[in-house]
């Protein structure tokens, strides 16, 4: 099936155009580069914050910026995003707040709340559960008669869960405007894809649903962007869902609690950094095109650093978690059980007798 589903690429690791059917403006390229750098800055900072104990366990995505930024850039205002715990590059690009993303990893429920007007669902922790949500939200838009779409992010491991299958089947049956965006990084924690599935590609799983499926170089932000855009536009036209497999690589650990040397040779990651890195290849391309400029890079870098640092400050200055938030949002209308528990507990905390 690798033949039926060739990996689409626009730009190879060396920054050479391998498919010249797209119009690549300097603006587009620089915009995507800037977004990827911003995502990477957030990611690296978060890993550091975790090491310093300033946030909890964190799930890094360095290496996957092209997949996340490219796909998110193809969306429009009002579309719906259903990310996992690792898709901060996507949510950020789509308009999420850095502070909010960091709060999530600081163990704060506020980290689940998107900026007003942004349809970003909280990260799905139970694997693959968000796929049916994306389908349902897309069915809702279709019913409302809008041309909005939803996009669900998920990993290679997620394809094994029943919810993957049910989400795709429903979407195909109801011709829901959804893009199922898979980031195939070859591993589900320690489990390599060969133990996860017998198929050589994830894209081919679309055949089970007579759904369009496409494989794309997930480290090539241009290819990801254009392929996602096609899928999004198709969905907007009412022509149903698409499964996109973005073949990528995560340099670091599964999470900061994980030790990848237990199950893979980290040397490979180092090699890939030089060979297929999403940012580097774009730099190489820009250089070749003659519009790369160190000063520009430094400016963008500095701007990203400032933004992220400021978000860290905001995160750390954020008021303490409010115990009332735990009790106060289980139901819209309070129920006596929880009210009683809250009162008893607050009374206890005040040192009074109940």
Partner 1 sequence: MKTAAEIKTNKLTLVQAVTDGLRTMLKEHEEVLVLGEDVGQNGGVFRATDGLAAEFGEDRVMDTPLAEAGIVGTSIGLAINGFRPVAEMQFLGFVYPAYEQIMTHASRIRSRTLSRYSVPMVIRAPYGGGIRAPEIHSDSCESLFTHMPGMKVVVPSNPYDAKGLLIAAIEDPDPVLFMEPMRSYRAFKDDVPEEKYTVELGKGAKLTEGEDVTVIAWGNMVATAQKAVEKMEAEGISCELLDLRTLYPLDKDLIAESVQKTGRAVIVHEAPETGGVGNDVLSVINEEAFLYLRAPVSKVAGFDTPFPFFSLEEEYLPTPERIVHAIKKSVTF
Ligand X SMILES: Cc1ncc(C[n+]2csc(CCOP(=O)(O)OP(=O)(O)O)c2C)c(N)n1
Residues that bind Mg ion (CB under 5 A): 155-156, 185, 188
CA distances from 151 to 43, 138, 161, 182, 210 (A): 22, 9, 18, 10, 19
Binding at 110: pick from partner 1, its own copies, ligand X, none (beta carbon under 5-8 Å per type):
partner 1
**What gap in Å lies between CA 138 and CA 143, rounded to an integer?**
9
Q: Residue 250 catalytic?
A: yes
188 near ligand X, rule: CB under 6 A: yes
Closest CA to 277 of 325, 235, 219: 219
88 near ligand X, rule: CB under 6 A: no
Binding at 210: pick from Mg ion, its own copies, ligand X, none (beta carbon under 5-8 Å per type):
its own copies
Binding at 82: pick from Mg ion, its own copies, ligand X, none (beta carbon under 5-8 Å per type):
none
Instruction: Find the residue with minimal CB distance to ligand X.
Output: 155
Query: 32 Cβ partners below 8 Å, 6+ apart?
Result: 69, 70, 73, 221, 222, 225, 282
CB of 125 to ligand X, least distance (A): 5
Q: Residue 263 catalytic?
A: yes
**What gap in Å lies between CA 232 and CA 302, rounded to an integer?**
33
Look-up of token digits 């997949």 = 67
Task: Mark the segment that binds its own copies (CB under 8 A) among 25-33, 87-95, 167-175, 245-253.
Answer: 167-175
Q: Which of 76, 126, 192, 238 binds ligand X (CB under 6 A)?
A: 126
Q: Which of 195, 264, 306, 340 binds its own copies (CB under 8 A)?
A: 195
Please give the structure tokens belonging to residue 79: 């579309």
CB of 143 to its own copies, least distance (A): 17
Query: 320 Cβ partners below 8 Å, 6+ apart?
Result: none
Identity of the residue, 178 or 224, whose beta carbon is nearer to partner 1 in the bound complex: 178
- Do the Cβ atoms of 213 and 5 come closer than 8 Å? yes
CA distances from 260 to 125, 205, 257 (A): 20, 28, 10
Name the active-site residue from 96, 148, 254, 281: 254
Judged by CB under 6 A, the chain residues 147 through 166 that form the site for ligand X are: 154-158
**What gap in Å lies between CA 218 and CA 198, rounded to an integer?**
21
Name the active-site residue from 148, 250, 281, 284: 250
Binding at 333: pick from ligand X, partner 1, Mg ion, none (beta carbon under 5-8 Å per type):
partner 1
The residues annotated with a catalytic role in the active site are 250, 254, 263
Query: Which residues contact its own copies by CB under 8 A?
Result: 1, 160-166, 169, 172-173, 175, 195-200, 204-205, 207-211
């Amino acid at each position: 099936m690798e033949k039926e589903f060739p990996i689409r690429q626009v730009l190879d690791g060396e920054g050479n155009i391998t498919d010249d059917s797209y119009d690549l403006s300097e603006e587009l390229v620089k915009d995507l580069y800037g977004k990827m750098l911003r995502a990477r800055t957030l990611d690296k900072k978060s890993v550091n914050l975790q090491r310093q104990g300033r946030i909890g366990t964190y799930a890094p995505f360095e290496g996957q910026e092209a997949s996340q930024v490219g796909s998110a850039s193809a969306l429009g205002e009002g579309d719906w995003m259903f990310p996992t715990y690792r898709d901060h590059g996507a949510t950020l690009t789509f308009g999420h707040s850095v502070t909010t993303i960091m709060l999530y990893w600081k163990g704060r429920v506020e980290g689940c709340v998107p900026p007003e007007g942004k349809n970003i669902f909280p990260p799905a922790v139970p694997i693959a559960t968000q796929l049916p949500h994306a389908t349902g939200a897309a069915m809702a838009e279709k019913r409302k008669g809008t041309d909005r779409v939803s996009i669900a992010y998920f990993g290679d491991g997620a394809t094994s869960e029943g919810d993957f299958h049910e989400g795709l089947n429903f979407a195909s049956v109801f011709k829901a405007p959804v893009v199922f965006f898979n980031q195939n990084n070859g591993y589900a924690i320690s489990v390599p894809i060969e133990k996860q599935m017998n198929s050589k590609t994830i894209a081919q799983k679309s055949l089970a649903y007579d759904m369009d499926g496409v494989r794309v170089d997930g480290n090539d932000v241009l290819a990801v962007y254009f392929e996602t855009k096609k899928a999004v536009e198709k969905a907007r036209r009412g022509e149903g869902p698409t499964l996109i497999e973005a073949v990528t690589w995560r340099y670091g650990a599964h999470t900061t609690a994980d030790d990848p040397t237990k199950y893979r040779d980290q040397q490979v990651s180092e090699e890939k950094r030089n060979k297929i890195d999403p940012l580097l290849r774009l730099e190489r391309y820009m250089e070749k095109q003659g519009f790369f400029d160190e000063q520009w890079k430094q400016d963008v870098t500095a701007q990203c650093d400032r933004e992220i640092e400021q978000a860290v400050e905001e995160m750390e200055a954020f008021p303490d978690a409010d115990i009332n938030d735990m009790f106060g949002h289980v139901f819209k209308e309070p129920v006596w059980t929880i009210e009683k528990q809250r009162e008893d507990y607050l009374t206890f905390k005040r040192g009074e007798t109940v």
